[in-house]
Every structure is written in structure tokens, then in C-alpha cells.
A and B are shown apart, each in its own frame.
Chain A
Amino acid sequence: MTQVSMTVNGKPVSADAEGRTLLVDFLRNQLRLTGTHVGCDTSQCGACVVHVNGQAVKACTMFAAEAEGAEVRTIEGMANDDGSLGVIQQAFQDHHGLQCGFCTPGMVMSAAALLRDNPKPSEAEIREYLEGNICRCTGYHNIIKSILAASGQEVAIAAE
């Protein structure tokens, strides 16, 4: 066991972790930040996406110790300061971009990273960017719609 320290959602934290402890398990078990989920064991589902030093990262692909000293942001840190839903979160609620909610934290974190790099993505760009985030419930329709809306773009869908 070694002590690992990092900043999570703006707060300095430290806890003991084995060398083999994954960042996602550290967040969930040591810090009890259970909003970040685990949906697979082959780094494919994206339920675990968080931001590490501003980059979207699958938290199941790195060890907690690798995040020593890092700035980590999780779904628990995405609301506005007054506690209201952030723009992306609100768009997901407005456009029914979630059903069971299990993939949702990862979707929101991925969407936030996408919109920071590409503030007005096209439908195709969003679909391609979400290649690493699996949702089994929504058929993606309303997720794409939510992200288009969060980017401030007109949500006109020919099919609707």
C-alpha cells in the first residue's frame, strides 16, 4: 500500500492504494465517488470516462498511482457551482439522452471533452467520437441530440 494524492473535482484528496489499484477503483472504493462506473474489463464501454489533467481518459486503463498529483474531474464535478445541472447535463435531461443512466456519466464526460475541442461538432463527428462509449438503452438517437443541443446547434433531425 502506498499513499496516492491527487486533486479531484477541485479538492485535494489522498488515500492508500495498492500498486495494482486502477484509478476507477480508487475513485469508487477509496474516495466513494461512485458516479464513475465500470461496465467492462477490456476498456471498451466508456462508462468510466473521467478527465485527467483535462484529457478524457478511461479510468479503467490507468493505475491510481499514475494519477499522483493530477487534476481529476469526475461526473460529480460537472454541475454548476450552485448545484444546478451543467449545460451538457441539462441537455441530456431535456432531450431524454439517458434511460438507465449507467453509461451516462461516461457519456457526459466524453461529450464535455468533445465540445471543448470541437465546439460545434456535426452529427457524424459526434457519432465517431462516441465510438468508445457504449449505451445499450437509448439507441444513441437522443444522446446525439443532447450533444448537438449542448453545443448550441439547432436540433433539426430529418427523421423526426
Chain B
Amino acid sequence: MPKDNGIGASSKRREDVRFLTGDGQYTDDINIHGQLYVHFLRSDVAHAKINAVNTEAAAAMPGVQRIFTGADFEAVGSIPCGWQVTDRHGEPMQEPRHAVLAHDKVRHVGDPIAAVVADTYAQARDAAEAIELDLTDLPAVIDMKEAAKEGSTKVHDDLTSNLCYDWGFVEENRDAVDAAIKEAAHVTTLELVNNRLVANPMEPRVAVGDYDKSKDEHTLYTTSQNPHVIRLLMGAFVLGIPEHKLRVIAPDVGGGFGTKIFHYAEEAFCTFAAKELKRPVKWTASRSEAFMSDAQGRDHVTKIELALDADNNFTAIRTETYANMGAYLSTFASSVPTWLHGTLMAGNYKTPLIYVNVKAMFTNTVPVDAYRGAGRPEATFQLERVIDKAARELGVDPIALRRQNYVTEFPYATPVAVEYDTGDYHATMDKLEEIADLKGFDARRKESEAKGKLRGLGINSYIEACGIAPSNLVGQLGARAGLYDAATVRVNATGSISVMVGAHSHGQGHETTFPQVIAEMIGIPEEQIDIVHGDTGRIPFGMGTYGSRSLAVCGSAMVRAAEKVIAKSKKIAAHLLEASADDIELKDGKFSVAGTDKEVEWGAVTLAAYVPHNYPLEDIEPGLEETAFYDPANFTYPAGAYACEVEVDPDTGKVTIERFSAADDFGNVINPMIVDGQVHGGIAQGIGQALLENCSYDDTGQLLSASYMDYAMPRADDVPFYAVDHSCQTPCTHNPLGVKGCGEAGAIGSPPSVVNAVIDALHSGGHKVAHIDMPLTPGRVWSAMNS
């Protein structure tokens, strides 16, 4: 019988009730008495020198309180990058200044030039129209390979070039990899583009700054996946506000997918302006603004070579990637194409030699940073595409070629610096073959052909590194923060529990799943437990939710804190039962003395902790509250196998997804219903990337896809029902719950299977197409078939 409480139960989400009745409280729902509204005047050109910003007429418009320009922020800190990458030659990356408001040049469409603060939004917008800008247009550099050329226009005049870094990994392997590729029996080469995407959480970003003069305290309400990180970055690097004077609150967050990790200029602006004007200042992004100011994702141009010996064993991989940083370095931008990408190039395979080269380029485009999967989808896509191409070239079965090269013994140290603790890639592939009914494919292909359609099957494996991350390791790699997490378990006198967690749900259902874990540990109903998150004023510390880390890292901290609580409560119970603490057992919310029928309820023990009349005060303090910080010993390695079946209309090139199946190994699972949902959402984003979505700029840097009219978001009729399974479980060996994380898998694992399926469909129709770059729009597919 399925459980209805604790670990493994598909508990219904308690947060749903407020979301379903309109009672959710998102940042834009917050209004503070006396608040002003800011509208940012943004550049409509990609690159220009700012000669003058004349605000005189605008300042006289109705309702205008003040207009800020770049000059107001010259003495204010730069928006920082949180990760310093060291290049192939041991030099630090080039790091440009990123001002809150641009003051010398604008460097991308959307770069904010001035901020108009007024009594209403409409007044602020009206006044912004009256600002006179004197700009000298400069040539824009958009294409990464152009940006890399000697003599190219420079995005930042004070840097030596547009190259942020030229990274080699593992540099010592370079010559050996070159030699292995030279000697290989077969080398498959593939050049591809990992298309630029926009994360597009449905809730646009919002910031509300408030300042309490009597206490000299700042409060920022913001749409963030990690309020403590914002407090750290904005307080320490940009505005110089100490932590105890700055509170960052992220209430309900309407999706993030990575783009709400980063610290943005608008947050710093609202915090700064609230103090200047002594009034709360609110900003709500329009969707058009989101398209030109939210950090975007992916945008890699890659050449990958896979070397095989005469028996089809993988012997070496060499890649060269150009990674777009955009005009400035966003918070984690530098780490995505390096440590989140190069370290995953081994995939699920025992390739002995790997060399990854990444050239990160500045261009006159919106900054690029982590988007669901962040680096790992880029690694998986190139690897799983090149393996498919190799299988086709060699005339071998793509599943057999993968299976032959799978890592099968764990722990496994890859040649790219990570050690997989557990996994069973054959098991997930077996499961995939079953749930995707691969045996039935030929019959389904015949049915499609009878309708005049081409049917293709694409499969792939994937692995990801989640639960970021061991702090001492990432410190060596250039991270400027620790990546542990923290939790406080506060047991109240009546036995109810508040858990303060550093992770912050933005759709993942933490309010439901975190209590399931505590309920299991103590044996009390989930309803007795609440979590508190998203507020630096109420939580000890935390690094937030991204990289599928919440349960693996913050959940582990919570378990550690709960273990301390249980240890202390056993001492109290021992006192009440006149027994030794070593003999006390806790089960189903009751403490008992082993081998006797003496027992005491959870609630009686918690009450004793707060009303310590009969209590061992000489040995232990009253109260029942514990905090733990948890720093993971390793990453976690979710892995799996995905299959996609498509139909291609040979007349139009239109692709429809007929079936999609995912067999994942997430280790132990707390709430299967929620895990299914995470995979569904990830798959839809992966299908979006593969077939529909593309953030595109013209040669002058104009953003061509700046609204939902031009940026194709997956709609309900673009996707099928998905078959998902996570019954293959090899628990993580180094965290207390044995969990691995499930938030990004779908987006990592699905794009290659979609593209592999389309290529397979085209081959079945006699079109020997080697590759089509994403998104596989009807136009691209038709052209590939007809060229």
C-alpha cells in the first residue's frame, strides 16, 4: 500500500491551496504604504557611447520624484561575478565592471541608462519618454567567432580583448588526447550550436526596496531563488551594507529555472533609491523587459570529436566550445561552460582521455548564465549527439554502442575530475526499453509511414552532477562562496515544529516534502511541521535552490539538525522515564525504553523542554532547537536514459512528438508525485529547446525574440503525455537521505533524444542528414531534407 505520510508518500502539496485560491503572495503582490515606482529607460541599441542624458524636461513631469542616471552610481560597487575562472595559462579571467546604471557606454539592448522614480508606474513611464539621450552608435559585435577575431570591436574598452578566458580541461591531458585521436580507428566529428534560450519563469522579476531610517535597516523584497546570496552579493560588493542591516525577503516565487539565482542591477537600484528617497521603491518587470534583462541561457558553439578503437570502445573526446557571456559577467556565468560543463564530458561512459577547451566571449548581447541544467545540458547534448552520429557511421545499434561503453563499476573517477559514487546505467536503459516499448517501434513506424509520415526514434543517456557542492573543492575551482546549506529545527512546546531552511522553493513544493522527512524521522503527522524559507531575517543562513541541490544539501542539513533534536529529546525522555538515554527508542512519535512497556509521547517531552519542572537542568539546557550546516562531501550524480519518438511531415518538415519516455535514477525519492512533476516540466523545456525556442539577435544586436509573439514557448498542444519512471534507485552514498536531485534531469536528458529522433526519421525517409541545429523548426527540417 502506498504510504500516506513521511518519506515515499505522494503527499498532496499544502502550498497548492493558497495558489489555487489566489492567496499566494508573490513579490508583485506586496505593496508598502507610500511606495514609489521606478521605470528603467533601457538602451534600444546594442552598443553606443553615452554622450549625455538630459533629464531636465522629464524631471518636471507630473509625479516624478527623481531621475537617476549612471553618474549617480559611479561611486557604487560593480555587480559582481561569483566565480573566478583561471585560464589555460594560469591567468585569471577578464572581469569587466558592471554598473547598476550604464554611464560610459551601453553594451546590449536593454542595458539600463536611467531610472525614473515617480508616484505611479504610468507617470514614471511617461517621464522616461521625455528623457533626451545623446548617444553615438558603435558597431556591435554579436557573433562569438567575430568577437574573437583580432581587431574586433571591443565590448569593454578597458579589457585587452573580448575573450573572458580560454580554458583548458584537463590541460595536462591535451597532448595525450591529440595523440589518441590521431591513432584512433574511427573519429566522429560534429559541429553544433546549443541555441540561446530565455528561462521565462511565468512570474517576471520584481523588486521592492524599503528603508527604515530609525534603525538604519534596509529590506529588499525580490523574486529570488536564494535570498541569502542576494544579501551577500548586494550587501558586500555593490552597496556596502552589512548583513545585519539588510534583510532580503523572497516570498512566493513564480518559477525561476536559474534566472532568479543571480543578483541583478534592479535589486540594487531599489535598495539604494529607497534610502535616497526615504520611500519604498518598487519595480515590476514587463515581459519585454524580462527578455532584455533576465540572464539568458546556453549559447554554445561547439566542435566535438569522439575517437573509437577498432572494437568501438571510446578512446578519447576532444571538444572546442565558444561560450557566450553576453555583455557583462552575470553571477555564475563563468562557471557554467567550465566547471558545470567540462566536468560532465565523460557522460555515462568510460572514455579514458578527455580534453575540453572553452573560449568565453563577451558580445553585445544580454548576459548569459545558468538556465535549468546549466552546462550539463550542453555537455550531454554534444556527447549524445556525437555518439549517435558515430553509431550511424559505424552501422551499429546506438543503444548497444552506449551500453558497451557504460561505466559499470563505482565509485568511478572520470578523467575530468569528478568521482561518480553510484549508478546503474544498464538498469535505467533496461527500464527505458520497457516503458518506451521499444519493441513496438517498428510497428509504429509502419503505421506512420502508412499515413505518409516519417517516424524516428531517438534515445540517449545522461548524467549530471547535482547537489552543488563541496565548498573546499569549489573554492579551489574559483567559487567566491561556500556552497553548503543550513537548517534550524525549532520544536515548539506543544510538539509542533518549524524548520528554517536555506533552500527556497519556487515551484518545487518544499513546504510539503521537507516536512515529510521530519515526519518520518520522528513519526508524527506531516501537518505538525512547517518550514520557513525565503527570508534572511528568519533563517540562520542558506545558499538557496538551484542545481537540484535543495534536498541533497539543505535537506541533509535539516536531517542533521533533526538528529541533534532527537538526541536531546531522548535525554529528556530518559529523564522522564527514569532510564538511560542509550535505551530510549523513538518510533511513531513515542519514546520508549527498549524491552519495557514504558513510554512517553513526543508532545510530553517537548512540553518538558519548555516547562522544565521535572527536567535534568544540571545536564541539559531547556528548549528544543538545533541548527546544522551541511557541506556535501561530493556532488550527487543523477543519471538516466530517455527516448523520444517523432513523426516528421515530409511535405512541411513539421515535427510532432509522439511519445516521450524517461527512466531516471534519482536515488531515494521523498515524494514520487512531485518528482514526476519535476521531470515533466524539465522534458517540456528540453522539447522547447529542441523544437521551438530560440533567442535570436540580428547582426546589429537587435533582439528579434523579445516577446511571446517571437519566442516560441511550448504550449499544451506542442507536447504529449510523458512516461516517466524513477524506480531504478541507487542511493547517493554520501548524504544522509541517499537522494540525488531531480529538478534539472528532464531539461538535460531530453534535447538529444528529440534531435536523434528527427535525424532517425529523416534517415528512414532516405535523407542522409547528419545534423540539424536546434530548434528543429519546420523550415530547418524541410531545408535539411531538401538540400
Task: With CB as the reference atom, state the residue of chain B lying closest to A76.
Answer: B22
- Residue B713 lies at the interface, judged by CB distance under 8 Å to chain A: yes
Q: Which of B501-509, B591-599, B623-631 contacts A (4 or more CB under 8 A)?
A: B501-509
Chain B contacts for A44, CB-based, 8 A: 707-709
B17 and A103 contacting across the interface, CB-CB below 8 Å: no
Contacts of B23 in A (CB 8 A): 35, 76
Are the C-beta atoms of A159 and B29 separated by less than 8 Å?
no
Residue from A34, A47, A137, A139 having most chain B Cβ neighbours under 10 A? A139
Q: Residue-by-residue, is A99-115 near B (CB-CB < 8 Å gives 1, otherwise 0)?
A: 11111110010000000
Note all chain A residues with C-beta closer than 8 A to B674. Answer: 96
Name the distance in Å between A121's Cβ and chain B's nearest Cβ. 12
Kindly state whether residue B717 has any CB partner on chain A within 8 Å: yes
Interface residues of B in 716-739 (CB under 8 A from A): 716-717, 719-723
Q: Cβ of B255 and Cβ of A89 under 8 Å apart? A: no
Beyond A139-B682, A160-B721, whether A99 also contacts B509 by CB under 8 A is yes
Q: Is B677 within 8 A of A142, CB to CB?
A: yes
B24 at the interface (CB under 8 A from A): yes
Q: Which of B20, B660, B717 has the most CB of A within 10 A?
A: B20
**In angstroms, how far is the closest chain B Cβ from the Cβ of A82?**
13
Q: Are A144 and B20 in contact (CB under 8 A)?
A: no
Contact A99 B681 (CB under 8 A): yes
**What is the distance, in angstroms, from B676's C-beta to the closest C-beta of chain A?**
7
Nearest CB in chain A: distance from B450 CB, A: 20
Q: How far is the CB of A127 from chain B (nearest CB, A)?
A: 4
**B446 contacts the other chain (Cβ, under 8 Å)?**
no
Chain B residues contacting A75 (CB-CB under 8 Å) are 20-22
Least CB distance, A84 to chain B, in whole angstroms: 10
Q: B202 and A102: CB pair below 8 A?
A: yes
B21 touches A138 (CB 8 A): no
Contact of A45 with B719 in the complex, beta carbons under 8 Å? no
Pair B20/A138 contact, Cβ less than 8 Å: no
What's the dominant secondary structure at chain A's contact region? loop
* CB proximity of A120 to chain B, nearest CB, Å: 18
Which of A101, A133, A140 is in CB contact (< 8 Å) with B19?
A: A101
Residues of A within 8 A of B13 (CB): 93, 96, 98
B288 contacts A by Cβ under 8 Å? yes
Task: Indicate if B684 sits at the interface (CB-CB under 8 A).
Answer: yes
On chain A, the residues within 8 Å of B508 by CB distance are: 99
Mask of A137-149 contacts with B, CB within 8 angstroms, 1/0 = 1111111100000
Residues of A contacting B201 in the complex (Cβ-Cβ under 8 angstroms): 100, 102, 136
The proximity string for B residues 559-576 relative to A, scoring 1 for CB distances below 8 Å and 0 otherwise, is 000000000000000000
- Are the CB atoms of B708 and A141 closer together than 8 Å? no
Measured CA separation A93–B11 after assembly (Å): 10
A143 touches B122 (CB 8 A): no
CB of A131 within 8 A of CB of B255, answer no
Contacts of A41 in B (CB 8 A): 286-288, 707
Cα–Cα distance between A94 and B673 once the two chains are bound (Å)? 10
Nearest opposing residue in chain B for A9, CB measure: B22
Place the interface of chain A in its size category: 35 or more
**Contact B287–A101 (Cβ < 8 Å):** no
Given A35-B21, A41-B286, A41-B707, A101-B723 contact (CB < 8 Å) = no
Within the complex, the shortest CB–CB distance from B122 to chain A, in Å, comes to 7
User: Which residue of A is nearest B256, CB measured?
Assistant: A100
The count of residues in chain B whose C-beta lies closer than 8 Å to any C-beta of chain A is 63
Contacting residue for A42 out of B659, B708, B717, CB 8 A? B708
Does the CB pair B721–A99 fall under 8 Å? no
Digit string of A60-98 for contact with B (CB within 8 Å is 1, else 0)? 000000000000001110110000010001001110101
Q: B257 near A: Cβ within 8 Å?
A: yes
Q: Is A58 close to B, CB under 8 A?
A: no
> Which chain A positions have C-beta within 8 A of B203?
37, 39, 100, 102
CB-based contact B21/A89 at 8 Å: yes
**Does B215 belong to the interface (CB within 8 Å)?**
no
Whether A100 pairs with B255 at a CB distance below 8 angstroms is yes
- B22 pairs with A74, CB closer than 8 A: yes
| A126 close to chain B: CB less than 8 A | yes
From A29, A123, A134, A141, give the contact of B722 (CB < 8 A).
A141
Is B775 interfacial (CB-CB < 8 Å)? no
Contact partners of A154 in chain B: CB under 8 A: none
Does B22 contact A33, Cβ atoms closer than 8 Å?
A: yes
Question: In angstroms, how far is the closest chain A Cβ from the Cβ of B27?
Answer: 11
Give complex CA distance A134, B255 in Å: 13
Contact present for A144 and B707 (CB under 8 Å): no
CB pair A100 B254 closer than 8 Å: yes
Task: Give Cα A53 to B265, complex, Å.
Answer: 42
Distance between Cα atoms of A116 and B570 in the complex (Å): 57
Instruction: Name the B residues within 8 Å of A18 (CB-CB).
Output: 122
Question: Which listed residue, B25, B204, B677, touches A99 by the CB 8 Å rule?
Answer: B677
Query: Which of B122, B203, B707, B709 has most chain A Cβ within 10 Å?
Result: B203
Contact residue among B20, B678, B714 (Cβ-Cβ distance under 8 Å from A93): B20
Which residue of A28, A34, A40, A133 is within 8 Å of B716 (Cβ)?
A: A133
Q: Are B506 and A100 in contact (CB-based, < 8 A)?
A: yes
Contact A98 B681 (CB under 8 A): no
Q: Are A42 and B287 neighbours in the complex by a CB distance under 8 Å?
A: yes
Q: A45-B708, A101-B16 are in contact. Are A128 and B717 (CB under 8 A)?
A: yes
19 further A-B contacts with Cβ under 8 Å, apart from A29-B31, A44-B708, are A18-B122, A20-B122, A28-B29, A34-B25, A35-B23, A36-B22, A38-B204, A74-B22, A85-B20, A93-B16, A96-B674, A99-B507, A101-B15, A101-B18, A101-B19, A105-B19, A136-B681, A139-B684, A159-B659
Q: Can you give 18 A-B contacts (C-beta < 8 A)?
A: A34-B25, A35-B24, A39-B287, A40-B708, A42-B288, A45-B708, A76-B21, A78-B20, A93-B12, A96-B674, A99-B508, A100-B252, A101-B19, A127-B717, A137-B507, A139-B684, A143-B716, A159-B723
Residues on A lying within 8 angstroms of B by beta carbon are: 18, 20, 28-29, 32-42, 44-45, 47, 74-76, 78-79, 85, 89, 92-94, 96, 98-105, 108, 123-124, 126-128, 130-131, 133-144, 157-160
> Shortest 4 CB-CB distances between A and B: which pairs?
A35-B22, A101-B19, A102-B254, A139-B684
